[in-house]
Amino acid sequence: MDKIKMKTPLVEMDGDEMTRILWGWIKEILIEPYVDLKTEYYDLGLPYRDETDDKVTMDSALANKKYGVAVKCATITPNAQRVEEYHLKKMWKSPNGTIRRVLDGTVFRKPILVKGISPYIPTWTHPIALARHAYGDIYNSVEEKVSAGEQAYLLITDKDGNEIRRQLIHDFTKGDGVVQGQHNLDESIKSFAKSCFAYALENKVNMIFAAKDTISKTYDHRFKDIFNEIFDKEYKDPFEKAGITFLYTLIDDAVARVVKSDGNILWACKNYDGDVMSDMVATAYGSLGMMSSVLVSPDGNYEYEAAHGTVTRHYYKYLKGEETSTNSVATIFAWTGALYKRGELDNLPDLMAFAQKLEKATIETIEAGEMTGDLVSLFKSEGVTVKKLNSREFLEAIAKRL
Ligand code: NAP
Ligand code: MG
Q: Decide whether any atom of ligand 1 lies within 6 Å of the 390 Cβ.
A: no
* Mean pLDDT to the nearest integer, 46-53: 98
Task: Please give all residues whose CB falls under 5 A of ion ligand 2, grouped by chain where several chains appear.
Answer: 275
- Return the closest-CA partner of residue 209 out of 155, 253, 174: 253
Q: At what angle do helices 17-25 and 312-319 cross, to 10 degrees?
A: 70
Report DSSP letters for 145-167, one per residue.
EE-TT-EEEEEEE-TT--EEEEE
Question: So what's the pLDDT on residue 298?
Answer: 79
pTM, two decimal places: 0.88
Q: Decide whether any atom of ligand 1 lies within 6 Å of the 365 Cβ.
A: no
How far apart are the CA of 277 and the centre of ligand 2, in A? 9
Nearest CA to ligand 1 atom 27: 309
In the chain the domains, ranked by start, together with CATH numbers, are 1-113+292-402 (3.40.718.10), 118-140+183-285 (3.40.718.10), 142-181 (no CATH)
* Mean pLDDT to the nearest integer, 293-321: 93
Average predicted confidence (pLDDT) for the chain: 95
* Residue type present at position 204: K
CA of 330, closest atom in ligand 1: 18
Model confidence over 212-241: pLDDT tens digits?
999 999 999 999 999 999 999 999 999 999
Confidence of residue 118 (pLDDT cuts 50, 70, 90): confident
Question: So what's the pLDDT on residue 135?
Answer: 84
Q: Decide whether any atom of ligand 1 lies within 6 Å of the 327 Cβ.
A: yes
What three-state secondary structure class fits 362?
Answer: helix
Select from 16, 308, 371, 391 the residue to mutate for testing ligand 1; criterion: most ligand atoms less than 8 Å from CB. 308
Model confidence over 154-182: pLDDT tens digits?
999 999 999 999 999 999 999 999 999 99
295, 107 Cβ separation under 8 angstroms: yes
Model confidence over 240-281: pLDDT tens digits?
999 999 999 999 999 999 999 999 999 999 999 998 898 889
How far apart are the CA of 18 and the centre of ligand 1, in A? 9
Confidence of residue 6 (pLDDT cuts 50, 70, 90): very high
Nearest CA to ligand 1 atom 22: 289
- Return the closest-CA partner of residue 357 out of 8, 117, 35, 70: 35
